[in-house]
Amino acid sequence: MRGSVPTTRCARGQASGPGENGDVVDDRNSPAVRRRDLLGLSSAALAGAVSVTAYRGLPGAPALAATPGPQAAPHEQEAEVTPPEDLMREHGVLKRILLVYREGIRRVEGGGSAPAQPLNAAARIIRDFIEDYHEHLEEQYVFPRLREAGKLTDTVSVLQLQHRRGRALTGRILAATGRSGASGTHARRSLVADMAAFIRMYEPHEAREDTVVFPAFREVVPAKEFLELAERFEDEEHRRFGRRGFEGIVDQVADIEKTLGIYDLSQFTPAR
């Protein structure tokens, strides 16, 4: 979704997992299917079924083979996945990284060492996918439109400040989990404090965007422009992160979770 892809990110069209020094290692070549293409095909098939059913209900209508109706226009096919939906999916990636940070905090506070490689890989996803891509889209397209409309201007100012503070925290987390590592007691405490501050800020940050900011953005952008933005967002995603785009990033996060033993969803279910 942004400029060149850093060498630590997976190659285009491939899935990945953390390797040595926390690098993300790529080992798959599954073909990509655009999310909106699937939705468009489903919408077209449904439209055809409705068209045939309605015709057969007319008095005296001759029998017809079940043929699909006219396909929807390209923009109509893609209208199912909107810019806020894309941004909210990306918030799902952020939420899962926050769980990775929580696991790092739990291990250090339990007397263990910091799991430097997976934490570093997680922080690089925050830097590359969340900060340099996701937040860039918000700052380029979402926040300016709200300011122009005079909506949520105070909230937008706070969110942008939090973006800057988040980048500072990520920089320190990357440094602390690099090759030198957070070996000393003071370094480990600083790492825990930075991850805890990141979690505390971004949980309300993303919740406010999902429930207030993105709905307001939808209200101030005309429908035609909304559809154009949806296509622009996806094109930028694939330009930056390869053919698998979002799906490839999700695979990277899953591999980090597996490394830390927190991938299995059932482990978070209370016993009663």
Which stretch of 41-55, 61-75, 177-191, 228-242 has the lowest confidence by average pLDDT? 41-55
For residue 142, the domain's CATH number is: 1.20.120.520
- Note whether 240 and 5 are within 8 A (CB): yes
What is the pLDDT confidence band of residue 68, given thresholds at 50, 70 and 90? Answer: low
Check whether residue 76 and residue 86 sit in a common domain.
no
State yes or no: pLDDT of 238 exceeds 50: yes
What is the pLDDT confidence band of residue 227, given thresholds at 50, 70 and 90? Answer: confident
Closest CA to 115 of 106, 126, 128, 125: 106
Mean pLDDT of 143-161: 98
Q: State the CB neighbour count (10 A cutoff) for residue 110.
A: 7
Q: What percentage of residues in the chain have a pLDDT greater than 70?
A: 69
pLDDT in tens, 184-207: 888 899 999 999 999 999 999 999
Cite the beta strand spans of the chain per DSSP E.
16-18, 24-26
**Last-in-domain residue among 60, 80, 100:** 80
Specify which of 43-47, 49-53, 162-166 reaches the highest per-range mean pLDDT: 162-166
Residue 165: inside a domain: yes
Cite the beta strand spans of 34-109 per DSSP E.
none
Check whether residue 66 and residue 102 sit in a common domain.
no
The pLDDT mean for the chain works out to 80
Check whether residue 121 and residue 228 sit in a common domain.
yes
Cα dihedral value 32, 246, 15, 126, nearest 10:
170
Give the domain range for residue 205.
Answer: 82-263
Mean pLDDT of 135-140: 96
Torsion angles phi and psi, residue 5, rounded to 5:
-90, 125
What is the pLDDT confidence band of residue 179, given thresholds at 50, 70 and 90? Answer: confident
pLDDT in tens, 83-95: 899 999 999 999 9
Residue 6: inside a domain: no
Residue 170: inside a domain: yes
State yes or no: pLDDT of 148 exceeds 50: yes
Mean pLDDT of 213-229: 92
pLDDT of residue 185: 84
Q: What percentage of residues in the chain have a pLDDT greater than 90?
A: 61
**Last-in-domain residue among 80, 107, 138:** 80
Q: Is the pTM of this model over 0.75?
A: no
Mean pLDDT of 233-241: 93
Check whether residue 98 and residue 178 sit in a common domain.
yes
Distance CA 226, CA 117 (A): 40
Both structure tokens of 157: 């100012």
DSSP letter for each residue of 186-234: HHHHHHHHHHHHHHHHHHHHHHHIIIIIHHHHHHHS-HHHHHHHHHHHH
Number of separate domains in the chain: 2
Check whether residue 60 and residue 88 sit in a common domain.
no
pLDDT of residue 8: 41
Check whether residue 100 and residue 191 sit in a common domain.
yes
